[in-house]
Amino acid sequence: MWLIRYLLLAAILTIASEAGFRVGCKAESGTADRTRPQLAVVEGGIAGVLALLLGFTVSMAVSRFEVRKQLVLQEANAIGTSYLRTQLLPAPDGTEIANLLRQYVIVRLQDAEARNDRDRFRRMREQAAHLQNEFWNRAVAYSQKDPSIKTGLLLQSLNQVIDVEAARWMAFQDHVPRAVIYVNFIVALFATILVGYAFGLAGHRQIFSTCVWVLAITVVLEAILDLNRPGEGFIKESQQPLIDLQHQLLISKR
């Protein structure tokens, strides 16, 4: 999908450059030499605006990516803390909650892998919500029998597990506004047309320069789109903290 989108962006910008070049060739004879430096000023200005917009949008997308990445670590820490605190409870209550947390880690990893499959992604979220209800209800039931500090600590960490999952879901849906991305594309299109127009006034194509311009803008726009679609693109936040936690829980079970 990302490759098709990349090629489509490159094709559109290439066509825009060619259109600008042909218009420039037709206007060459009627353009005075003294107006060409003014065109260079306009060309540099719009290129500067494009660079500013792209930099601003990349910053927005990267900041959201970093939030998603940090939340993975926070979730792993919250689940790990809850698992350790289940050891404060006697069997079978502590053991049952610990087993539910092991299953929960597996489901959360499968959730991250299933983002390209909407049906499976929905099932994983439902399964995660079911496990949340299970370990929370068991902890609450035990706290009613033994309202001690150790039970309160477990409830606190389990509540953190649920809260971080909700935060990850919100971060997953937090995208760079579409209007901002559209503005980037429109300005990039105008800048590319103007570059082609300037080459047309000069009288011959600069194929290498045009290709570098188109590819550079396409790469940046594709990176923005990729970062803006967590789980679907080429750039994905690492699930390594949860993977490491899963290994630790399997070892502790033995």
Q: What is the pLDDT of residues 236-252, one digit of tens each?
A: 888 999 999 999 988 87
Residues 8-22 have a mean pLDDT of 91
Of the two residues 34 and 181, the one the predictor is more confident about is 181
Burial of 153 (0-12, 13-18, 19+ CB in 10 A): middle
pLDDT of residue 35: 63
Residues 140-148 have a mean pLDDT of 89
pLDDT of residue 1: 64
Most confident of 7-11, 34-38, 78-82: 78-82
Considering the domain delimited by 2-253, tell me its CATH architecture: Up-down Bundle (1.20)
> What pLDDT digit, counting tens, does each position of 153-180 carry?
999 999 999 999 999 999 998 999 999 9
* 30 pLDDT higher than 60: no
CA–CA gap between residue 151 and residue 134 (Å, rounded): 16
pLDDT of residue 97: 93
Q: Mean pLDDT over all residues of the chain?
A: 88
> What pLDDT digit, counting tens, does each position of 85-108 carry?
999 888 898 999 999 999 999 999
Residues 135-163 have a mean pLDDT of 92
pLDDT of residue 12: 93
pLDDT of residue 34: 59
Instruction: For residue 245, give the nearest of 72, 28, 118 by alpha carbon.
Output: 72
pLDDT of residue 29: 61
Residues 199-204 have a mean pLDDT of 80
Give the rounded percent of residues in the chain with a pLDDT score beyond 90: 58
* 48 pLDDT higher than 60: yes
* 208 pLDDT higher than 60: yes
pLDDT band at 205 (very low <50, low <70, confident <90, very high): confident
pLDDT of residue 44: 84
Domain segments of the chain as ranges? 2-253
Residues 129-153 have a mean pLDDT of 92
> What pLDDT digit, counting tens, does each position of 69-82 carry?
999 999 999 999 99
- Cβ contacts of 22-27, under 8 Å, gap ≥ 24: 22/196, 22/200, 23/196, 23/197, 23/200, 24/196, 24/197, 24/198, 24/199, 24/200, 24/201, 24/202, 25/200, 25/201, 25/203, 26/200, 27/197, 27/200, 27/201
